[in-house]
Amino acid sequence: MRRPGPRGESDRGIHQLEGYLLWQGETAAAREQAEAFADRLPWLTGPQREDVVRVYTADRLEVSRATVRRIADRARELRHEYTARYRALRLRLLALSLLGVACAAGAAALLGLLGDPG
């Protein structure tokens, strides 16, 4: 749920910055792994090595991007599912509370009738 006003804007900015920093870390890790992979291929020429690093990095980032999308989609599904469950639970609790109040009022009325001699 988004908050209106400056607080919501700052929260959104912080989330965007956090996402940016996380993705930069993922990019750096992908590049490191690509470099390590290319190091195991000593026969590559300089341009070939750079191509391998570039393609490996791009592939790794595409896999990461797809994984992040799947996780985000699943998080949204779970949010909707849990919101619906919470709403149903609140309705059940409200119904039980009203039933309890009605029963207590009925019992009080019945006791009042039984105790009234007139």
What local confidence, expressed as pLDDT, does residue 7 receive?
Answer: 78
pLDDT tens-place string over residues 56-85 = 999 999 999 999 999 999 999 999 999 999
Share the mean pLDDT of the chain: 92
Give percent of the chain with pLDDT exceeding 70.
92
SS (H, E, C) the chain: CCCCHHHHHHHHHHHHHHHHHHHHHHHHHHHHHHHHHHHCCCCCCHHHHHHHHHHHHHHHHHHHHHHHHHHHHHHHHHHHHHHHHHHHHHHHHHHHHHHHHHHHHHHHHHHHHHHCCC
The pTM score is 0.66
What local confidence, expressed as pLDDT, does residue 4 receive?
Answer: 60
Give the residue with greater pLDDT, 42 vs 118: 42
